[in-house]
Amino acid sequence: MIEIRHRHTGRVLLRLETDTLCGMDLCQAELSGASLHRARLCDTKLRKARLVRADLQDADLRFADLSDARLMEADLRGADLRDASLFGARLMEADLEGANLAGARIGCADLTDADLSVANLRGVSLGHTYLHNTDLTEADLQRADLQAADLRAAQMEGVILRGAYYGRHTQWPEGFDPAQHGLVRMGRE
């Protein structure tokens, strides 16, 4: 049996008659404040789950479906989110420092004020994603899809963007020149 507890109060949020969370269906689960530090949640269905302020530091979320999940202020530092779906997820003020999101699908998500510093975002789809005031310092966005992404006021010191592509609706921080960073423009001029 697995018990998921609140990270501060210790209160049981969810009790499951299983020995693993991998592959579980936890869609729409209320797990706000949950302590899931280093949890194995690979291929878990967390669509529309509420994980506000949850501790998911160093969690294994490979191939997890977090579409439309609420992850505001969640701690995802060092989490493995390779090939996960975060389409439409709300990650405002989430901490994803050093997280591995290679190949993840994050389109139409909101990452306002999130920390993605030193994160691996290679090949990530960030189309139509709101990244306003997001910390992308030293993040690796090689071959990422930035079409129609809103990067206004994003912190982009040392960000790696070689081969990433963007479109005419991509919005950049003031003074940012995509041509100087090896980006590829898609679509017509």
Instruction: Give the domain CATH number at 17.
Output: 2.160.20.80
The domain in which residue 161 lies consists of 1-189
Question: Which of 186, 187, 116, 120 has its CA nearest to residue 151?
Answer: 116
Q: How many domains does the chain have?
A: 1
- Give the whole-angstrom CA distance, residue 39 versus residue 150: 32
pLDDT of residue 159: 96
* pLDDT > 90: percent of the chain: 92
Query: Contact at 8 Å (CB) between 50 and 33?
Result: no
pLDDT confidence band for 189 (50 / 70 / 90): very low
Query: Contact at 8 Å (CB) between 4 and 35?
Result: yes
Which tokens is 19 given?
A: 């020995």
Local structure of 54: helix, strand or coil: coil
Beta strands in 36-189 (DSSP E): 165-166, 184-185
pLDDT in tens, 117-161: 999 999 999 999 999 999 999 999 999 999 999 999 999 999 999
pLDDT confidence band for 173 (50 / 70 / 90): very high
pLDDT in tens, 41-71: 999 999 999 999 999 999 999 999 999 999 9
Query: Contact at 8 Å (CB) between 143 and 124?
Result: no
Query: Contact at 8 Å (CB) between 12 and 5?
Result: yes
- Give the whole-angstrom CA distance, residue 127 versus residue 29: 27
pLDDT of residue 188: 59
Average pLDDT over residues 28-43: 96
Give Rg (Cα) of the chain: 17
Local structure of 130: helix, strand or coil: strand
Average pLDDT over residues 175-184: 90
Query: Contact at 8 Å (CB) between 45 and 69?
Result: no
Q: If you average pLDDT over every residue of the chain, what do you get?
A: 95
Strand partners, 14: 4
Strand partners, 5: 12
- DSSP structure class, residue 83: T
